[in-house]
Amino acid sequence: MTGLDPALDLGTVLLQGHDMIGESIAVHDRRWGMSQATAWRLDQQAARVEWDLPDGRTAWAPAQVLGSFNADAGTFVWAWDNPTLLEEVSETAWRIRDYGVAHEVFALTTSPLRLDLDQLRDLVALAFRVGGCTGLFHPTRERLTTYVVFGRVTIEPADGADGAEAEQFEVQLP
């Protein structure tokens, strides 16, 4: 967890998290088109998320899962409480839980949580900020949304792109 002033109140941390998520998603969309990805994959063993982009490029980044939200049940399950997720992709969720224990933040230490959409957005914003995250991807399959955070993105050129080299990109947040 980086850059979190222990003197900050929870409301400030929450507002910062919302701002940081908005900025991060906008920057990733402008820089490499994250929201335009045609497919994505999470490799749990490698703790890596990959995206296929419409122009044939592939992007990938080290990744962690915060948790998942089941819209039908209205419940959020933290990655540390999900037996289908490997430890390799739940380390950040565990660090967030540790912060919750140390600061007595019930929502960071309890799973599953029954939440409405506003509460869910607040929880993810709080976790994003507490976790020192710099990228957020939240795909939905059927009625299950998975909250994946990621770091430095590597953008691989399309197959057959002569002389093109991979480039790396990371959002710098306060």
Please write the tens of the pLDDT for every residue from 49-58: 999 999 999 9
Position 100: which residue type?
Answer: G
DSSP 80: G
Instruction: Express each pLDDT in 16-43 by its tens digit.
Output: 999 999 999 999 999 999 999 999 999 9
Asked if pLDDT for residue 149 goes beyond 90, the answer is yes
Instruction: Report the run of H or E that residue 126 belongs to, with start and end.
Output: helix 117-130
Cβ pair 133, 19 in contact under 8 A? no
pLDDT of residue 132: 92
- The predicted model gives 108-120 an average pLDDT of 97
Q: 132 — phi, psi (to 5°)?
A: 65, 35
Cβ pair 89, 63 in contact under 8 A? yes
Rounded to whole angstroms, how far apart are CA atoms 3 and 12?
13
pLDDT of residue 9: 83
Q: What angle do CA 51, 75, 148 make, to 5 degrees?
A: 20
Asked if pLDDT for residue 143 goes beyond 80, the answer is yes
pLDDT of residue 126: 96
Asked if pLDDT for residue 158 goes beyond 90, the answer is no
Q: 66 — phi, psi (to 5°)?
A: -80, -45
pLDDT of residue 3: 53
Using 50, 70 and 90 to split pLDDT, how confident is the model at 6? low
Beta-strand (E) ranges in the chain? Answer: 39-43, 48-52, 58-70, 75-78, 113-114, 136-137, 140-141, 144-150, 153-156, 167-169
Cβ pair 171, 135 in contact under 8 A? yes
Using 50, 70 and 90 to split pLDDT, how confident is the model at 174? confident
Instruction: Express each pLDDT in 94-105 by its tens digit.
Output: 999 999 999 899
Q: What angle do CA 14, 19, 24 make, to 5 degrees?
A: 125
pLDDT of residue 162: 72
Rounded to whole angstroms, how far apart are CA atoms 128 and 13?
10
Instruction: Express each pLDDT in 47-89 by its tens digit.
Output: 999 999 999 999 999 999 999 999 999 999 999 999 999 999 9
Using 50, 70 and 90 to split pLDDT, how confident is the model at 2? very low
Tokens of 62: 């080290």
